[in-house]
Amino acid sequence: MTEYGAAAIDLTKPSKEEERAALLAARARQGDYDNDLILEQLARNRAFLTDEGLEKLRNAFVIVVGCGGVGSHCVAALARSGVPKIRLIDFDQVTLSSLNRHAVATLADVGTPKVLCIRKRLEAITPWVHFDCRNELFSGPHADTLLEPLGGQPPTFIVDAIDNIDSKVALLHYCSFKGLPVISSMGAGAKSDPTRIFIGDISASTEDPLSKATRVKLRALGVKRGIPVVFSTEKPGAGKAGLLPLNEEEFAKGAIEELAVQEKFRVRIMPVLGSMPAIFGLAVANHINQRAVN
């Protein structure tokens, strides 16, 4: 295995360019990188945020839980904005079907953990960013460890980009109970109208099965509001995309739940227009950029 989790065969062997990028990133994280170069790369952010605002962002620590279409675009935007410490939490691997919506994955990354794929690709762009990779499924019993401070610094923000209800609810309940700043992305699947995307309180999110199921479970745990979410008000209906049905052959085999990658995960395929998770992820990153400097 390579350090990125890929099989050490010619197809996935790091290129010379990737090896140079990894070496530069290792040196940059130890402080061997000219700060003037960083400021030049962040010049447009600096002009918008002012020196004071950019400094706050450059002292932030963000945890992103879920590194698929939404999470990967969010991470890429945060790293490019100047966030220097980002923890990535995801148990899954890059698949061929991930490539229609993942921010940075390539064919060479198929079969590798998403968290390591993101680190490898983004350290070639922002070598000074420290990516703390946790190739794990988020669950309530492990929340204390997965959301622990990094180098003594508690998270400035936590991003929920999970598409599994149980893990999603566990994360949001934990953050609400502990008073941790969190923003959650609701469902981008089966959506196609970017003008219907909003950021608001979870109590106001509508027209989204993932949001509805999340709200119901959180209410049962005593959480009714206070969590900002990115959601779409696009209504389902005739002519709209929806979960794809399983074919008769799969039903005939029985034990349908065994098709899920994890217990209680969605079995049927959700159609996803590749641009929509990107917009959700960028909206989350934009929210963090604004809140982190205010």
Mind listing the pLDDT tens digit for each residue in 40-98? 999 999 999 999 999 999 999 999 999 999 999 999 999 999 999 999 999 999 999 99
Q: What is the pTM of this model?
A: 0.87
For 236-245, what is each residue's pLDDT tens digit?
765 565 555 5
Q: Are the C-beta atoms of 242 and 234 separated by less than 8 Å?
A: no
Cα–Cα distance for residue pair 63/245, rounded to 1 Å = 34
Handedness of CA 82, 83, 86, 90 (dihedral sign): negative
Q: From the centroid of its chain, how far is CA 132?
A: 13
* pLDDT value of residue 18: 86
**pLDDT < 50 regions, the chain:** 1, 7-11, 250-251, 256, 258-261, 265-268
- On average, the pLDDT of the chain sits at 87
Cα–Cα distance for residue pair 70/282, rounded to 1 Å = 8
Strand order in the sheet with 228-232: 130-134, 85-89, 61-65, 157-160, 182-185, 228-232, 197-201
Cα–Cα distance for residue pair 238/242, rounded to 1 Å = 10
- Write the DSSP symbol of residue 15: P
